[in-house]
Chains A and B, each alone.
Chain A
Amino acid sequence: MKKNIFGFGLAIALVIGSLTACGSGSADSSESASTAASSENSAGESGGETVTLTNVSYDPTRELYEAYNKAFAEHWKEETGQNVEVTQSHGGSGKQALEVANGLEADVVTLALEYDVKAVEDAGLIEPGWIDEFPDDSAPYTSTIVFLVRKGNPKNIKDWDDLVRDDVGIITPNPKTSGGARWNYLAAWAYADQKFGGDEEQIKNFMKTLYENVLVLDSGARGATTSFVENGQGDVLIAWENEAFLSIQDYPDDYEIITPSISILAQPSVAVVDEVVDARGTRDAATEYLNYLYSDEAQRIAGDNYYRPLNQDILQEYADVFDLNINLVTIDDFGGWDAAQEKHFSDGGVFDQIYEK
């Protein structure tokens, strides 16, 4: 009998353990927060020799910041004579924001969308007005939403219109679980908005048909890419431009990128985490870290990693890479993130409605 009670206790503990594990948001999908804040100690700070910064970012910026951190370290050394060590953390954008809000010590956040940075602001860690702290809505590089199709484009997919055809299977992440995927959804909406001249009923129908064609609704962007590329699901992947280019780079003979007639300007936001930098005394370095993202050198690094540079001259240097004629709407056309979030992605919002039976 005693054994049973033990077994039962263990059972409860395990159930709760497993449930809270996914509740805490640190779930084990996507190799999140790899290096995290572990190597961080501010001991070097007092010596004035080495500054350590933690940059909490989202999934597809890994390669970008790997290159940028080196460039910034050199720049900082020249300016101040100090060494700087940047610890990177990558994961789903929303999950990363949650972790920072819950106490992961980040000096700067570089997330997929303004809404996620706002979550950190709401936790009292970033002062309001951060969006104007750096030029162009604190988005030093941008991207957009494109289609990745199989080589030769066998289904002849040219624009959003083709995605609602019966014979097309779509792969895109769930905008409710993936911050980045909200741009995908909004880009499709922008197209339908133009096509139907703002008739909401028709737009919703279009979106409904489009999402009915979705074969796999992954929880994150990298997961969706895996479903499409590795597991061969679907005919088209709706993806961030930089993600699509990375797939092309890995498999140049298997895929091609189709740029739709209308898409959205995806602005990943950066911000200094005020509470943390004040506590650690790293404000100067953290501010310069983000500021230097706007330098010519950093803009080229962004371009090399398939993000669209903000600097128009440098963007022109990449004219053969990016389709610069694409018609881009911005989040402001949706009335800003708060309005878009409330209308489309909240419980019972439009995204839920189009999935109602």
Chain B
Amino acid sequence: MRKTGKRVIPGFGLSMGITLAILSCVVLIPLASLVIFTSRLGFGEFIQTITRARVLSSFYVSFITALAASLINAVMGLILAWVLVRYEFPGKRIMDGMIELPFALPTAVAGISLTSLTADNGLVGSFFARFGIKIAYTRIGITIALVFIGIPFVVRAVQPVLEKLDGTYEEAARVLGAKPGMIFRKVIFPELMPALLTGTGLAFGRCIGEYGSVVFIAGNKPYYTEIAPLMIMSELQEYDYASATAIALVMIIASFLILFGINVLQARNNRKIMGGEA
């Protein structure tokens, strides 16, 4: 990356100071307090707390459903963003605005309405119930709630990149005889990849910690639909802060590693693109 001579915001020291201060307030201090609370447990107790069978299976449920939801979101979000950017149709603006509703809606409301919709006597649920598929109170239900929660992240991450994509590359590819599928795979997709990864990563992070909407649709059956944030809540209900933060710490570390992995992947991807262009 080339350094520009002029900086937009003057005073590196000042802006760096503000950055660090905000980072500390918002991220580092809460994180540190998590570690401090957890350290009330000894190491042995910590391991014992986080390896209880129910806790382990709640981690599994949380990660597997968040992963499934993120993958669905990656695909569906990309399609949504594509349609919103590339085509003109009546109602497009309204549709565009609706994407953000999951942000605005209280998650509990989302959870309750999704549950009543997908329960066996609900509008959608009764249809699937005919084929013996249960949605609400299963892992499928959890995944659906998470798809709902996570979709704006992907759409909003991909949209601006897609808008700014230079049409000349596509034209050039077409002139050189590439088929539409190939243009998408070789020309458009590599450009979208970083934004898609970021969006999916954000959605994943959000989904892992989601509590409000999931508790309503999950049924919260131990070993089956009990999510990790619910385990945290039940520890808190016993006023056991240390165990609660221990579980939270594990989730944070896992999420951090996953997001970090995505970032590394992205950096490598960037380098490849840069290398190709240079």
Q: Taking beta carbons and an 8 Å cutoff, which residues of A are in contact with B?
A: 1-2, 4, 7-23, 25, 27-31, 94-95, 98, 101, 119, 122, 174, 176-179, 214-219, 223, 226-227, 230-233, 341, 345-348, 352, 355-357
Contacts and interface: CB of A to CB of B under 8 A. Distances in A.
A39 to B, nearest CB: 21
Given A8-B259, A28-B106, A232-B120, A355 B30 contact: no
A101 B106 CA distance: 25
Contact of B238 (A30, A347, A356): A347
A25 B256 contact: no
Contacts of A227: 115, 219
- Most B C-beta atoms less than 10 A away, residue of A15, A179, A347: A15
Nearest to A15: B205
Is the contact region of chain B dominated by helix, strand, or loop, or is it mixed? Answer: helix
26 contacts: A1-B1, A4-B267, A12-B27, A15-B206, A16-B31, A19-B208, A20-B30, A20-B34, A21-B209, A21-B211, A22-B211, A23-B245, A27-B212, A28-B212, A29-B108, A29-B111, A29-B215, A29-B216, A98-B236, A215-B219, A216-B219, A218-B216, A219-B220, A231-B136, A352-B54, A357-B223
Given A218-B220, A231-B116, A15 B121 contact: no
A4 B263 CA distance: 7
A214 B221 contact: yes
Contacts of A10: 202
Contacts of A18: 205-206, 208-210
B211 to A, nearest CB: 4
B117 to A, nearest CB: 10
A105 B202 CA distance: 36
A122 B241 CA distance: 14
A19 B215 contact: no
Contacts of A28: 106-108, 211-212
Interface residues of B, number: 67
A134 to B, nearest CB: 24
Contacts of B260: 8
Interface stretch (B164-172, B181-189, B227-235): B227-235
Contacts of A21: 209, 211
Task: With a 10 A CB-CB cut-off, give which of A2, A28, A95, A122 has the most chain B CB atoms.
Answer: A28
Tell me which of B121, B237, B240 has the highest count of chain A C-beta atoms within 10 A of its own C-beta.
B237
B208 A15 contact: yes
A342 to B, nearest CB: 10
Given A101-B239, A226-B216, 14 more contacts: A1-B1, A4-B267, A4-B270, A9-B27, A15-B259, A16-B30, A19-B229, A94-B237, A176-B237, A177-B220, A215-B137, A216-B137, A216-B220, A231-B122
A230 B45 CA distance: 42
A259 to B, nearest CB: 27
Nearest to B215: A219
Contacts of A356: 53
A16 B270 CA distance: 26
Contact of A1 (B31, B216, B267): B267
A13 B27 contact: yes
Given A19-B251, A19-B252, A357-B53, A11 B202 contact: yes
B142 interface: no
B39 interface: no
